[in-house]
Structure 1
């Protein structure tokens, strides 16, 4: 009797520890719910900045972007003058 139950399990191609196959729709919803659960678990790990940290970071970013804009504007003005000097002022 033991041989027939073992043979039956062997014949199906599945090990006894494998879960039974479900239909594709229920597997899709299970995968989506697992994905959402994992997202929520990761969001619980996020450390949010304090108000002071957020203000500091925002100020640093604005100052840095302003400095980069001034630098690029300066380079642009230099290139315009060099190109204007080399190729003339564009008049006929």
Structure 2
């Protein structure tokens, strides 16, 4: 792929045209190492477990602080 020449814009910043931008995006996406299906399932499960644990912690804190507020001001 040839080097792209930036197009100067009115505000002094360098810009590339849309076709060159698209080619650069496609070239970068080809460099990406995509996860296998097993890795993807593992990542999904780990993420869901983490989210459920954090939700439980936040819910318990909310319940505790709510009851404490009612005990103090109730």
- Normalised-by-shorter TM-score class: 0.7 to 0.9
Answer yes or no: is 1:54 the counterpart of 2:40. Answer: yes
Residue 84 of structure 1 is matched in structure 2 by 70
TM-score normalised to structure 2 length: 0.77
Structure with the greater relative contact order (CA < 8 A, sep ≥ 6): 1 or 2?
2
Answer yes or no: is 1:75 the counterpart of 2:64. Answer: no
Residue ranges of structure 2 left out of the alignment (5+ in a row) = 1-15
User: Distance in 1 between the 2:62 and 2:21 partners?
Assistant: 48
User: What is the CA-CA distance between 1:31 and the residue it aligns to?
Assistant: 1.0
User: What is the CA-CA distance between 1:82 and the residue it aligns to?
Assistant: 0.5
Pairs aligned (count)? 59
Residue 36 of structure 1 is matched in structure 2 by 22
